[in-house]
A and B are shown apart, each in its own frame.
Chain A
Amino acid sequence: MDLLRFSTAGSVDDGKSTLIGRLLYDSKNVFEDQLEAVARSKVNRASQGIDLSLLTDGLRAEREQGITIDVAYRYFSTPRRKFIIADTPGHEQYTRNMATGASTAHLAIVLIDARYGALVQSRRHTFIASLLGIPHVVIAVNKMDLVGFDEGVWDRIRADFAPFVAQLGFGSGADTREATWIPLSALLGDNVVDRSVNMPWYRGPSLLEHLEAVDVAGDEGPGALRFPVQYVVRPDLDFRGFAGQIASGVVRRGDAVVCLPAGTRSTVARIHTYDGDLEAAGAPRSVTLLLADEIDVSRGDMLVHADALPWVRTTFDADVVWMANEPLDPSRPYVVKHTTRSVRGRVTRVRHRVDVNSLAEVPADCLQLNEIGRLQVTVAQPLYLDAYRDQRRTGAFILIDPLTNATVAAGMVAREQPDAGAGEPLRQVDRAAREAQNGHKSAVLWLAAPPGELRTAVARALEARLFQRGVQAFVVDNGHANGICSAGPNAGREPLSFLLGAFMSAGVVLIADVDMPDPLERAELRRRGGSGDVLEVELVLPAGPHAEWQASPLPDARIEVTGPDAVEGAVARIVAWLGERGLFGAPRVVSPGAGI
């Protein structure tokens, strides 16, 4: 007996919950106490008998509102197979849930209401199934009872929708992905488990017969060996095992392997399992590999065969589903988790957004919740990648917001990768190149205020806030300034101006927490800095005017530092102002191959 994971997408209106309820009920996978609970339920929507859709609605809000909020997993089995259903809502605002359910599925059921034919929603479901690499789709034309089980209706729906399904690669040519069409009535049970007596014109299998028979063993193919190291098992000096789940391919005792990223080579001495050593093991088995040589291997490394290497890249294109309420922010760093490896990275280009209803590629510079687009991602250390279409486990990644730790996006490495070497070679590491790599411009933020703890507090808090956003921020204080300006009060400011210039060439955002009471001196520094690089941020402190302090006539910004959260509030306003000035907008001048 093997395992089939499938996903369903749709809403109560489509009869999705009813279909699953019917599938469970007719295959005798519903328990008596579950039926009783449904019959007792306060929100039974069926006018007579029991409402099968209630078997699948889990959370209180879902039962009350008659909607499905999240992915629910359901289990049933027949003598042929065990099934895991990822049951997901179908509206556009639940694209992320559909993608989640589809990510592990072998097969997706796309529901079409026979009365309306293929709608925008049907297209979206099929597209997401295709995007997430599901090899088999079932186009289930439901509610055939409401169109008199009419073959003509069925023919029209097929003729209308089949070209779209083929366009996504299902059932066309050499592609192994296939689409199966089944007319059914979830409400009455026609063609769900038992074949319909009302549709003699349909000669294919019932839905359950198809689910039991569909061949998924060859979907991922043998593939190249990919063994992401998860955990090092080292109880004593005699045993040093690299534990992990084989992501694809087959490993055999005696195989020559390469460890990425080091490129060191060794031979598989043992394939250890608790139940004894194996001669060979294939995906998705979890094993522990022992190597013949003492090479350095740790979590996040990957063992592969030398003749079938993955891409080793710091910059790559990927299709990404944005899953967070906060939109994609190209100025911010994200953690990229790919297999067992987590690295820092950022989105360096938004190539386009896909309209999930029309499949049109739309220009975009951002992705919002539930939007899907093609992005260029640049990471700080290399990842070992395959195209998602070829290897799901080594082509998939998630993006995590390092501040909130939320999972904000799901990514699939594209087959089409702009050639890393084809870009213009980088001849000079200049300020522009550094700014591009950092993802922000360099600048000097001169905190114009009388000396004191409050100014220093703002400087340090601002530094921390910017640093957390991934900005190369640094505070220059009186200690630095006096150290380089020791030649005397009048010679003094020249070296400081050189220091600031050097920091800006290095791509840094410098925060000056330096005493300089004379506004003319500050103006001179701004002039030397040139073209808006030195920004004077006047802090209006609650203590009132300082004896020696003279405010500038025209600061770039004037920020009040008052109230109970004076420092935090001021920092937030400065950061917002810098954002408006475009400090965080990554200038896109670097070629894809320039890397990090």
Chain B
Amino acid sequence: MPVTAAAVADPPPLSQLEALEAESIHILREAAAEFERPCLLFSGGKDSIVMLRLAEKAFRPGRFPFPLMHIDTEHNFPEVVAFRDFRAAELGERLIVRSVEDSIRSGRIVERPGQDNSRNRMQTTTLLDAIAEFKFDAVFGGARRDEEKARAKERIFSFRDAHGQWDPKNQRPELWSLYNGRIQPGEQVRVFPISNWTELDIWMYIGQEKLAIPSIYFAHERPVILRGGLVLPVSHLLQPLPGETIVARTVRFRTVGDMSCTACVLSDAATPTSIIEETAVTRITERGATRVDDQVSEASMEDRKKAGYF
């Protein structure tokens, strides 16, 4: 009997990574189709690296229907900034960089005196200015719902008013995979294609796709300060307080944000596989282990998002 098309076995069900990937590609394409001027935030960090691979899967062999943008705190790790430029050039896609430092120099941002010179908070002003400058109506971000309690409640198409603000009590219902991208001029939507991914999913995907990432994600020896249970990397932005000493440790970064407030973790993991093994058994969340500024209050992320932060 001749083999007809119908006699070929059905393709197997999707694995959980394949299902997440298919959903993320759908979200990227949906936003690209519904908005006039989207952009994709790319920092050189692992989540945005995954976002770029998903964008390749959504739009290749075409070009991305949006530029990449980085809100540069100028407190970034040099390895990450170098990787950012390398990857954008490798993809042949346009990269826009807007700097928090410029916003400070032009007086758009006033640094808070005292100990908190974190620039995570300050990014908001620069981001909103850049959105206005390029008239972006949608901005893709690599935030995940497993990162933080306020993010757990945020929509995939997250509506922002003309001031970029999030109103958590008045979010549009989001059912099935039907996203409502309708806005008035001046309003915007933040789009989170990897909302449903976890830190472990990200590492498994980096391993599966053999994605290049900045070297500091892997174990390396570095001078650090041990402070309050956190392992802090020494740099020109982070020096020991009186009584603290600098020690050398083998560490890696779980997240690569602002050098002045991003901690690393003690680890020997030098490959994606060993990082996956560590991540699968870790007892501390990504933010808990690494973010100094999120520990300020139970609601610090909620407050920043309401002000326009990612």
Interface residues of A (CB under 8 A from B): 1-3, 31-34, 37, 41-42, 57-61, 63, 69-75, 77, 81-82, 84, 96-97, 99-100, 103-104, 217, 222, 230-231, 233-235, 239, 243-245, 250, 252, 254-255, 273-275, 278-282, 284-286, 299, 323, 335, 337-338, 340, 392-393, 396-398, 400, 402, 405-407, 410
Contacts and interface: CB of A to CB of B under 8 A. Distances in A.
Given A34-B285, A96-B173, A337-B178, 11 more contacts: A3-B19, A58-B150, A59-B168, A61-B169, A231-B33, A245-B22, A250-B11, A274-B60, A286-B58, A393-B176, A406-B172
A255 to B, nearest CB: 7
A239 B183 CA distance: 32
A3 B172 contact: no
A280 B10 contact: yes
Contact of B283 (A31, A69, A96): A31
A433 to B, nearest CB: 31
A233 B59 contact: yes
Contacts of A337: 178, 180
A84 B196 CA distance: 8
Given A3-B19, A393-B177, A33 B14 contact: no
B69 to A, nearest CB: 21
Contacts, number: 186
B152 A74 contact: yes
Grouping DSSP codes into helix (H, G, I), strand (E, B) and loop, the A interface class, with mixed when no group exceeds half, is mixed
B307 to A, nearest CB: 14
Which of B32, B33, B56 has the largest count of A CB atoms less than 10 A from its CB?
B33
B22 A285 contact: yes
B16 A3 contact: yes
Contacts of A69: 169
Interface in B52-93: 56-63
B5 interface: yes
Contacts of A74: 145-146, 152
B296 interface: no
Given A75-B146, A230-B29, A250-B11, A407 B16 contact: no
Given A41-B298, A60-B299, A286-B25, A77 B173 contact: no
28 contacts: A1-B16, A2-B13, A32-B283, A32-B288, A33-B288, A37-B288, A58-B150, A59-B168, A70-B169, A73-B196, A74-B146, A82-B201, A97-B173, A100-B175, A103-B176, A104-B175, A222-B10, A230-B30, A230-B33, A231-B32, A245-B25, A254-B5, A274-B56, A340-B30, A398-B175, A405-B180, A407-B172, A407-B180
B62 A279 contact: no
A398 B13 contact: no
A546 to B, nearest CB: 40
Contacts of B221: none
Contacts of B60: 233, 274
B1 interface: no
Contacts of B22: 245, 284-286
B62 A282 contact: no
Which of A72, A217, A299 has the largest count of B CB atoms less than 10 A from its CB?
A72
Interface of B: 5, 8, 10-11, 13-16, 18-23, 25-26, 29-30, 32-33, 56-63, 145-146, 149-150, 152-153, 168-169, 171-178, 180, 182-184, 195-196, 198, 200-201, 282-285, 288-289, 298-299, 302
Nearest to A79: B280
A2 B15 contact: yes
A588 to B, nearest CB: 29
Nearest to A5: B196
Contacts of B33: 230-231, 299, 340
Contacts of B16: 1-3, 81-82
Can you list the 4 inter-chain pairs with the closest CB atoms, starting with the nearest?
A33-B288, A286-B25, A58-B149, A3-B16
Contacts of B152: 58, 72-74
Given A3-B20, A73-B152, A397 B178 contact: yes
Nearest to B195: A73
A396 B288 contact: no
A34 B58 CA distance: 35
Contact of B26 (A1, A245, A278): A245
Nearest to A325: B170
A287 to B, nearest CB: 9
B168 A70 contact: yes
Contacts of B288: 31-34, 37
Contacts of A252: 5, 8
Given A1-B15, A59-B168, A405 B182 contact: yes
A52 to B, nearest CB: 15
Contacts of B302: 58-60
A244 B176 CA distance: 15
Nearest to B301: A58
B169 A104 contact: no
Nearest to A251: B11
Given A33-B288, A96-B173, A230-B30, A75 B145 contact: yes
A396 B175 contact: yes
B11 A31 contact: no
A73 B145 contact: yes
Contacts of A284: 14, 19, 22-23
A66 B59 CA distance: 45
Contacts of A286: 21-22, 25-26, 29, 57-58
